[in-house]
Amino acid sequence: MDYQVEVNGLTKAFANKSALKGVDYAIKKGEIFGLLGPSGSGKTTMVKILTAQLQHTSGAVQVFGNDVSKLKDPAQMKRIGILTDNSGLYDRLTVYDNLELFCKLYDVSERRIDEVLEEVNLLQDKKTIVKQLSKGMKQRVTLARAILHKPELLFLDEPTSALDPTNKGQIHAGLRKLNKEGTTIFLSTHDMQEAEELCNRVAFLHNGSIVELDTPQQLRIKHGDSTIKLLLKNGSTVSVKQDMSGANAISQYITNGELLSVHSNEPNLGDIFVKLTGRELQ
């Protein structure tokens, strides 16, 4: 198996507080891997450790098959892209000028600037001074900068937290396109819908530990109650089992002209997180 990231027994402590506790997982090349948890669960600490911005306390962390410390080599840093809450921009420069600096750093053609600005819906604002941008627009500029060089591995820490639904949807489309072109994506988020739409696998982080890890579909199946909800034309709802008795009940409601719609009772990722931890993702 070709892994881009491997984490074994990872711990991180700050003074007397443990932020991460014996974390284990691996990210396959080409997948979108989601780390879900509420604010304060350790997500940002994880991203900073995986990008060599923060030293872990114990355990082993490998990126591209090497110890994570190797990412401090400029040649290795060019292989990754990072968007975190402290991704600073040059406020006195235009959007275009900010990205032009990184084109030179990454040896990327300046033609790439318009491409990424189109992907984050900022092409019309490329001559705008950064300090004049809204928080959400700045967030999109930092994302454009992170994907400018089409990195092999992209780390995103709450990439759409300040965005409206339209821009969020466009960002998601751009990330899917980048992933199809070969970029592995590590997505840290508390947005369960975002994880549902983008991720091949998700891990739930709670109080510094991973309490569940699988595909969204397998998690819904595992934690579902194997029933189907029927909405009847009189406005009432009925739950039936996914077996022959349930099939017969559905058939009878259809025959009687009473059935309006059929819905799965599979939980969403937010429901599952609450079930496992007693906490909301938000």
Do residue 178 and residue 234 come from a single domain? no
Domain of 67? 3-79+151-220
Last residue of a domain, one of 189, 204, 220: 220
Calpha distance 38→160 (Å, rounded): 15
Domain contains 185: yes
Are residue 184 and residue 242 in the same domain, yes or no? no
Instruction: Say whether both 260 and 158 belong to one domain.
Output: no
Instruction: Establish if 111 belongs to a structural domain.
Output: no
Our count of domains for the chain comes to 2
- Classify residue 113: in a domain, yes or no: no
Same domain assignment for residues 166 and 216: yes
Quick check: is 231 in a domain? Answer: yes
Tell me, what's the pLDDT at 281?
65
Question: Do residues 45 and 21 make contact, with C-beta atoms less than 8 angstroms apart?
Answer: no
Decide if 7 is inside a domain: yes
Q: What is the pLDDT of residue 195?
A: 92
Same domain for 160 and 54: yes
Same domain membership, residue 216 and residue 229: no
Q: Are residues 62 and 31 in the same domain?
A: yes
For residue 86, what pLDDT is reported? 55
Residue 110's pLDDT is 94
* Residue 14 shares a structural domain with residue 27: yes
In a domain, 256, yes or no: yes
What pLDDT score does 149 carry? 93
CA distance 213 to 264: 22
**pLDDT by residue, tens only, the chain of 282 residues:** 689 999 999 999 998 888 999 999 999 999 999 999 888 888 989 999 999 999 999 999 999 999 999 999 988 989 999 987 656 789 999 999 999 999 998 899 999 999 999 989 999 999 999 999 988 899 899 999 999 999 999 999 888 887 888 888 888 988 999 999 999 999 998 888 899 999 999 999 998 999 999 999 999 888 888 788 899 999 899 888 888 998 898 999 999 999 999 887 788 898 898 888 887 766
Is residue 215 domain-resident? yes
Residue 88's pLDDT is what?
A: 79
Q: What is the CATH number of the domain that holds 185?
A: 3.40.50.300
Give domain status of residue 128, yes or no: no
